[in-house]
Amino acid sequence: TQLLEQSPQFLSIQEGENLTVYCNSSSVFSSLQWYRQEPGEGPVLLVTVVTGGEVKKLKRLTFQFGDARKDSSLHITAAQPGDTGLYLCAGGTQGGSEKLVFGKGTKLTVNP
Amino acid sequence: KAGVTQTPRYLIKTRGQQVTLSCSPISGHRSVSWYQQTPGQGLQFLFEYFSETQRNKGNFPGRFSGRQFSNSRSEMNVSTLELGDSALYLCASSLFPLETQYFGPGTRLLVL
């Protein structure tokens, strides 16, 4: 069974601070996706990374896929209250059982 | 373009009953996946349908079933409901399997 461990599980910070969320596994994934979910809504895709070592930037968010494609990180610079939400990573598997495996998420609260 | 819609949004049932949830994918999307989200287990994959055929199934008991219609709309059914089935059920659609998934707002099911 392929598992994705996210850390930390909960994070509460002040507006303007930086933070990093981690997504780790012992398995190799063909791709890694990051989603943000707000209360009462479904997850919204932020980014997909597919190449080991790949770095993608989305405004104040920086996503990195590990060289071995087993882990990923999300770094937010100068967090804002609008960044509050549940951040989920999901690994794409292949080889006869293609599906997305999700981590349990990091619940981020950014206080004004 | 309208997003993924799910009906109903909220549902209360009692143990032993059965329930049917509906998902209408984004127009043109032919792949539909279902997930169960709980605070303890996170997002767990239920099944995926493409062109009316189930391509993948997660590790859930046979009480959980689904189907997809020729217009790509999908339904999932849970029979003999248990308290542990209380969860947010999310549907996601994509053009084809393994492509970017777009989630609906979910159906929140409470089993009493």
Can you give the pLDDT at residue A2? Answer: 66
Q: Compute the average pLDDT of residues A33-61.
A: 93
Residues with Cβ within 8 Å of B35's Cβ and at least 6 positions away in sequence, in order, are: A102, B43, B44, B45, B46, B89, B90, B91, B92
CA–CA dist B107, B103 (Å, integer)? 12
pLDDT along chain B (112 residues), means of 10: 92 97 96 93 92 92 97 97 97 87 95 97
How much is the mean pLDDT over chain A? 91
Q: How far is CA B96 from the centre of its chain?
A: 17
CA–CA dist B44, A4 (Å, integer)? 12
Q: How far is A72 from chain B (nearest CA, A)?
A: 18
- The partner residues of B98 in beta bridges, in order of sequence, read none
Instruction: Using alpha carbons, select from A26, A56, A39 the residue that is nearest to residue B105.
Output: A39
Q: Which of B37, B49, B53, B56 to mutate to test the interface with A (most CBs of A within 10 A)?
A: B37
**What single-letter DSSP state applies at residue A60?**
T
Higher pLDDT, A92 or A42: A42
Interface check A101 vs B, CB under 8 A: yes
Contact A40, A22 (CB under 8 A): no
Higher pLDDT, A68 or B40: A68
CA–CA dist B89, A107 (Å, integer)? 19
Is residue A70 pLDDT above 50, yes or no? yes
Q: Which of A35, A50, A100 to mutate to test the interface with B (most CBs of B within 10 A)?
A: A100
Contact B104, B34 (CB under 8 A): no
Residue A41 exposed, middle or buried by CB count within 10 Å (0-12, 13-18, 19+): middle
Cβ within 8 Å, pair B48-A99:
yes
CA–CA dist A108, B18 (Å, integer)? 35
Residue with tokens 């329930």: B19
The pLDDT > 70 percentage for chain A reads 94
Cβ within 8 Å, pair B33-A99:
yes
Q: Compute the average pLDDT of residues A58-86.
A: 95
Q: What angle do CA B51, B54, B55 make, to 5 degrees?
A: 95
Q: How far is A25 from chain B (nearest CA, A)?
A: 16
Q: How far is B73 from chain A (nearest CA, A)?
A: 18
Strands B87-94 and B74-78: unpaired
A100: closest chain B residue by CA: B45
Q: Which of B97, B100, B104 shows the shortest C-beta gap to A42?
A: B104
